[in-house]
Amino acid sequence: MIEAQLEWLTKYIDDSVGTATLPIDVVRKLAEIGATLTVVKRDRSASLPKKGLRDATTVRGTNGYRVELTRSADSPPFLTHRERFSLAHEWAHILLDQYTGWRPTSRQEYYLREAACNRLAAHLLVPERAQRNLSLQHPLDAVRSAARVRLLCGVSWPVAALRIGDGLEHIVLAELRRITKKGGGQTLRVSWSAGATELFEIRGGKHIGPVHVWSELAESLKSSKRIWMETTVGSQRWALVVSKMDEDRFFAWAQDRAATDTNSKEESKMANFAQLSLIG
């Protein structure tokens, strides 16, 4: 039932943004659904909760919805990509409340609703029309398209990649981060992923083991900034590339070879483009 409602809401979002100028004015979208925005200043020296600080929260009162955005004294005068997504996420919470009345009754449902709000927020910031005329026949196209959407829609790289890879089964995009485990040693954690993630057994927030193909590629990056290879995943032949963003962050992506006709020279061009796209 909720999937049908989410599908309806995504169409509602596309209709509501219409021909609005990109990037979408998320503050205006909050006002359109009757929500007020309050900015809460946080002292930079204030200690953060153990699990971090939420950028935005929604409070429902007798006079409607109030969204509180927490900013530090040295925040820039404009909304950052993260803040824009946080406000869009709260906008999605209000939308779900107004149109579905969905209240989680379990921990599993709570996370399902959070995932739904992320999906709706990404759809608001990157509406369907922003992805028209994008070619996704080659891995380079996926990277180029995500970079274009990122600039056009004023979103972070993960949000752009998530929208580009949404529902696609022939590409995978992911960011990996090397972290130190509590008991010592290091491992790779998936910061975010998009596309055919289940096939590669990766998901945002999860760790990948040392024998995972992308772990092996990342560990092989010593003096070089990128590496690529072909491997079989399931019954398909995939081209994989891992590019070093810095000492502890890697950008990884893959393309089903049956979906396109690529060669090593094209893969190298793709890696070079991604390296430039991810600077900063």
Q: What DSSP line would sit under 120-171, residue for residue?
A: HHHHHHS-GGGGTT---SSHHHHHHHHHHHHHHHT--HHHHHHHHHTT-SSE
pLDDT tens string 217-259: 888 886 678 888 888 887 888 888 888 888 889 988 888 877 6
Q: Report pLDDT digits (tens) over 46-78.
A: 554 444 456 899 999 888 999 999 998 888 999
Tell which wins on pLDDT, 264 or 25.
25
Q: Which domains does the chain have, with CATH numbers?
A: 2-129 (1.10.10.2910), 133-277 (3.30.450)
**Residue reference for tokens 């993630």:** 197
Residues 250 and 176 sit within 8 Å (Cβ to Cβ): yes
State the pLDDT at residue 46.
54
How far apart CA 159 and CA 98 sit, in angstroms, is 25
Locate 211 and state its tokens: 């024998």
Q: What is the pTM of this model?
A: 0.77
pLDDT band at 278 (very low <50, low <70, confident <90, very high): very low
Q: How confident is the model at residue 44 (pLDDT cuts 50, 70, 90)?
A: low
For all residues of the chain together, what is the average pLDDT? 83
Instruction: Read off the tokens for 24.
Output: 């979408």
- And the tokens for 262? 């690529």
pLDDT tens, residue by residue, 3-13: 888 899 999 99
DSSP, collapsed to helix, strand or coil, labels residue 194 as strand
Q: How far apart are CA 170 and CA 43, in angstroms?
A: 46
The share of the chain scoring above pLDDT 70, in percent, equals: 85
pLDDT interval class at 265 (50, 70, 90): very low
The encoded tokens of residue 246 equal 């810095």
Distances (CA, A) of 273 to 60, 72, 126, 145, 184: 45, 34, 22, 11, 35
CA dihedral 158, 170, 24, 112 (to 10 degrees): -70
Q: How is residue 240 written in tokens?
A: 């994989």
Distance CA 96, CA 5 (A): 9
> Residue 124 has which token pair?
């608001």
Answer yes or no: are the C-beta atoms of 88 and 79 closer than 8 Å.
no
